[in-house]
Structure 1
Amino acid sequence: MKKIFLYLSAFFISIIVFSSCSGGKNNASVSNKTGYAYNQKANGGFEVASKFKRGIGEGLIEIEGGEFIMGGSAVDIPGQDLGNYSYKREVTISSFYMDETEVSNTNWLEYLNWIRRNFPTDEQYYYEELPDTLVWRNPLSFNEPFVNNYLRHPAYKDYPVVGVSAKQAERYCVWRTDMVNEKLLRDKGYMNSFAVVNGTATGKNAPKTPIVKSEKPFNTDLYLNGQNDDKGPKAKEDLNPAAVAAAGTAPTGKKGAPMATRNVRLEDGVILQPYRLPTEAEWEYAALALIGNTKNQNIEEKKIYPWNGLGITSAKKRTRGQILANFKRGKGDYMGVGGALNDKAAFTEDVKSYLPNDFGLYNMAGNVNEWVADVYRAATYEQADALNPFRGNQFTNKDRDPSTGALKADKYGKPQMVKANSGKKQTWEELQASKTAGGETYNADQRGYRDEQSPLYGISTLVNDKSRVYKGGSWNDQAQWLNPATRRHMQEDDSSADIGFRCAMTMLGSSEIKASKGFKSKR
């Protein structure tokens, strides 16, 4: 019996050894093409992440993508051009993330506070990011109290921010990306702790030497390019054989010797993707939330709102009769009769009011309209690609120092962007020539006009290259605008008291979130 046990032990050990050395597709330690081991200095230090677990950004919800009929939920709106939104087309949306709620006043005040704290003397920066609170001012209505109170008073702290343009919303997304990635890196110890007392860092991720505050705020792109030198106690070991540990400050390895470290790289799978505005197609798909009506790839019930049914009140037993969105029920009816208010809001309401849709998203109809990333064209549905349709690409690249490869940054520590100069990878000779001569820029603009503004703008059209789509209906709209297929436009640098926004993020890896029976994908 003892001999049999030894044979079996040897057999299983041999299986384990063979499987660990075979270089199969699930083995990230050895190349299945060359046989060289990864993550070893002796083999040149080529590093491969052993595993990747998809992380979700703060405030976001997973949206599993799929096929749907864009414009398919549209209903006739008297007096409106149906060509703007009723062209029905089958498209597919990749899985992505979207904010559970609209961005609130508190969220925006956090942004303003950061600007004041990091750039205390830059009045222009602060002023340009202030929402236009004058959007509340109307000649024939008494809304003046909202001009001073809506953004800052705690009574409205969780209400959606309004008076922000599409360009301001995009800049907020950039700021939020850097804030979230910096916190992630510091919390995990890849960078040093935030806490500093009398020049000395405290906390579990504190270094032994004082932190020297960076001249400019953290930026994700500059960090990934190695231009931010703030390595924490759990910084990644640099396996490059030529790497040298920094004298006196480097973390120590297992044997107590100073260890060469490096910044986290994109290949490590730690850094989150940028926050951004959702595309129009993503927004419409997420608002409809047909996932709740889908069984075995069949949609059992269509929708004209983010909820089921033709009505605007809940039919569920627990919430029966409750108004499902914040909108204007009639020309002069903004909230119902005193003592029995319907949506309980004359203007905006808390971003977590009303019932979420089947994706778990709040206020995808009503409260405020929401900016999306697309430039407005009436024929977008007809012309755009069937996979992830989008109109508005203006391709840009990060500007680099041609001799060092360092990213050029502006006075706020953000990468400077230049127009893309090619639609494909250039030859080395072409690349060097473009660095010295400038070269021609690559223009892939398919929005409809290549000029800044149509010469007929203001005469026979209000559509130009700064016309941006907004969707969703608002407190100031009647029920027909709550349909996810409806689309209107406004200039990207204008703002309104009934337009806000929420952020989205690209999802990397498999599009599948909920695994099908009998099949499990690697995420």
Structure 2
Amino acid sequence: MNLKNLFILATCAAAVASCKNDAKKSGKSDVTGWAYNSKEQGGYQVSREKEQHTGPGLVFVQGGTFMMGATEEDVMSDWNNVPARKTVNSFYIDRTEVANIHYREYLYWINNVFDADEYRAVRDGALPDTLVWRSELAYNEPLVEYYFRHPAYNYYPVVGVTWKQAYDFCLWRSDRVNELALVQKGFINKTTLKNIQGQGSESFNSKSYLMGLTTPTPGNSVRSKKNPLKNPNGTPRTTVTFEDGIMLPNYRLPTEAEWEYAALGLVGQNPSPSRKEGKRGEELITNKQVFSWSQNVNGLRDTRRGAWQGTFLANFKRGNGDNMGVAGGLNDRAVYTAPVTSFYPNAFGLYNMSGNVNEWVADVYRPMNSVDNDDVSPYRGNYYQNDFKNKDGEFEKDSLGRVKRVYATDAESITRRNYQKANVINYLDGDSLLLGVKYGYGLTTLISDKSRVIKGGSWNDRAYWLSPGTRRYMEEDQASSTVGFRCAMDRVGSPEGNGRKTGIDYPTRRQNTRKR
């Protein structure tokens, strides 16, 4: 065989191998046999399977089962945190509380994008209430004036924020993270991040973009042949869909169950957690845990030399009049709040899940939530909404650039199997089981449908409230100098984390195809 023929043979072999690799890369349907991403066979686009990347500021929390509720004697006689076994799906949560500098970034964006007169209420409505620091019998005016704005407090937790404001912050954060991801991938022109002044309703919103209601200027690379996204005819695609795996799920407030599970950090008690694919750790919780930093039943966490023995592991009030100890020996070194990365993180790497500030969670407060809620991903607060369609059957944006939504009606829910009412905030909350008696929420009780759970304890609370199982509430339109928040995000894909499979794979057995 001469060199020319040898070269031709090698070329053909390479081409065949390339075709095989392309076929494996593109794949084909198991139900029709049609090739994916092929303009010759319909052009159905399927992205390569990929893992969810971790959004800015977040920590992955592997889910599991835990005993939700009080884990020690209920000295306060609350009777609203009865222990109950629950399971939490894997999710992401902020490593720290949202700090002043982060919230000021939010206000900066709001003031620039919604600078017109008609948005005055939007700008004012986002401002935190600095007057929460005032007290009739204390001199706190310096905190009123300086706490939120002075750079000395940049990384101290933001307070004076209502539940509604915290909810809106999460929405804003989702859009900014996804917008930047699309800019970095070249699907949105990078100049849009610079020219935000006066965008108003034309500002980027994740859902509006996915539904085609927002059309930002495409980036330079979308027309390139290197663009991995293709239209059915094989030409480069200029817009991204959620199926492409580039955009992240929305940031949101954590549910009470998620927050409590993350605060306990029970993964730190597992003697042999799974570290690599194919191996599982022990299904074991060794002790009932009282505080978020605990690694044993006594709540101690120290080095081999005992260097941390006896030190404060959270920012809280030791007793009446003692918020930080004695000069020359301050115990927690913080009279009010402390920087968000102060004190020792728990086993998930989360800071200040006990102490510093209480934190808003998503749930509507009811005394017996732990008894009433589902076993998996428990949450109370559902009031289902649908995307609004006008008389022409088209979706619309509101004045803030978000997709208009309307509450689902009981009429359209009545035939469903999984729910029959749209507003299920009060569904089976325990009251109607007692001889048909119901609370008059907000009328005859201090609890209303606006009551939201706060967790974690604060700089001005005793140690009891630092236990993740304890719970209190505040109206969603109120704020406090002892309440802040952190954000969470859904986890898609494997509950064990990236690089891990869902379920357990066993060797496949060959079928006996021998003819008889």
TM-score between both structures, scaled by the size of structure 2 = 0.82
% identical aligned pairs: 42
Corresponding residue for 1:134? 131
Per-residue CA distance 1:271-313 (angstroms, 9 max, x = gap): 1000000000000000000001013111223310012246676
Per-residue CA distance 1:177-201 (angstroms, 9 max, x = gap): 001100110011111113789x9xx
Shift of residue 517, structure 1, vs aligned partner: 11
Matched, 1:320 2:309: yes
Per-residue CA distance 1:391-420 (angstroms, 9 max, x = gap): 111110121345363x31111111111012
What letter is aligned with 1:116?
Answer: N
Shift of residue 441, structure 1, vs aligned partner: 7.4
**Unmatched 5+ residue regions in structure 2?**
1-5, 272-281, 433-437, 506-516
Corresponding residue for 1:165? 162
Say if 2:207 and 2:403, in contact at 8 Å, map to a contact too. yes
Per-residue CA distance 1:371-430 (angstroms, 9 max, x = gap): 00000111110010000011111110121345363x31111111111012434999xxxx
Corresponding residue for 1:239? 231
Matched, 1:84 2:74: no
Structure 1 stretch displaced more, 232-241 or 145-154: 232-241
* Residue of 91, 104, 110 corresponding to 1:96: 91
Q: What is the DSSP-based 3-state SS (H/G/I as helix, E as strand, rest coil) of the residue aligned with 1:42?
A: helix
Say if 1:472 and 1:482, in contact at 8 Å, map to a contact too. yes
Corresponding residue for 2:485? 501
**Unmatched 5+ residue regions in structure 1?**
200-211, 242-252, 254-258, 427-439
Corresponding residue for 2:459? 475
Shift of residue 19, structure 1, vs aligned partner: 6.8
Per-residue CA distance 1:103-146 (angstroms, 9 max, x = gap): 00111111111111111132211111111111101000111111
Corresponding residue for 2:397? 409
Structure 1 stretch displaced more, 231-240 or 58-67: 231-240
Matched, 1:60 2:58: yes
Say if 1:314 and 1:323, in contact at 8 Å, map to a contact too. no
Per-residue CA distance 1:447-498 (angstroms, 9 max, x = gap): 4499xx9646364x21111111000000010011110000001111111100
What letter is aligned with 1:349?
Answer: A
Corresponding residue for 1:335? 324
Q: What is the DSSP-based 3-state SS (H/G/I as helix, E as strand, rest coil) of the residue aligned with 1:298?
A: coil
TM-score between both structures, scaled by the size of structure 1 = 0.81
Matched, 1:491 2:475: yes
Say if 1:312 and 1:323, in contact at 8 Å, map to a contact too. no
Corresponding residue for 2:265? 289
Superposition pairs for residues 104-503 of structure 1, below 5 Å?
A: 104-120=99-115, 121=117, 122-194=119-191, 216-229=202-215, 230-235=217-222, 237-241=229-233, 259=235, 261-295=237-271, 296-308=282-294, 309=296, 314-316=301-303, 317-401=306-390, 403=392, 405=394, 407-421=395-409, 422-423=412-413, 442-447=422-427, 448=429, 455=440, 457=442, 459=444, 461-503=445-487
Q: What is the DSSP-based 3-state SS (H/G/I as helix, E as strand, rest coil) of the residue aligned with 1:117?
A: helix
Aligned counterparts of 1:226 and 1:483: Cα–Cα separation in 2: 46
Name the CA shift for 1:219/1:135 in 2 (closer, same or farther; >3 Å). same
Aligned length: 468
Per-residue CA distance 1:353-382 (angstroms, 9 max, x = gap): 001000000000000000000001111100
Structure 1 stretch displaced more, 116-125 or 366-375: 116-125
Aligned counterparts of 2:391 and 2:163: Cα–Cα separation in 1: 33
Shift of residue 216, structure 1, vs aligned partner: 1.6
Aligned counterparts of 2:337 and 2:170: Cα–Cα separation in 1: 22
Corresponding residue for 2:279? none
Shift of residue 234, structure 1, vs aligned partner: 2.9
Backbone CA RMSD of aligned residues: 3.5
Say if 1:164 and 1:500, in contact at 8 Å, map to a contact too. yes
Say if 2:289 and 2:299, in contact at 8 Å, map to a contact too. no
Aligned counterparts of 1:462 and 1:393: Cα–Cα separation in 2: 21
Aligned counterparts of 2:34 and 2:424: Cα–Cα separation in 1: 42
* Residue of 42, 45, 50 corresponding to 2:43: 45
Aligned counterparts of 2:391 and 2:73: Cα–Cα separation in 1: 56
Aligned counterparts of 1:487 and 1:290: Cα–Cα separation in 2: 19
Superposition pairs for residues 19-38 of structure 1, below 5 Å?
A: 28-38=26-36
Say if 1:323 and 1:342, in contact at 8 Å, map to a contact too. yes
Aligned counterparts of 2:112 and 2:177: Cα–Cα separation in 1: 17
Q: What is the DSSP-based 3-state SS (H/G/I as helix, E as strand, rest coil) of the residue aligned with 2:202?
A: coil
Aligned counterparts of 2:145 and 2:325: Cα–Cα separation in 1: 26
Name the CA shift for 1:50/1:463 in 2 (closer, same or farther; >3 Å). same
Q: What is the DSSP-based 3-state SS (H/G/I as helix, E as strand, rest coil) of the residue aligned with 2:170?
A: helix
Structure 1 stretch displaced more, 107-116 or 119-128: 119-128
Say if 1:169 and 1:501, in contact at 8 Å, map to a contact too. yes
Aligned counterparts of 2:202 and 2:41: Cα–Cα separation in 1: 37
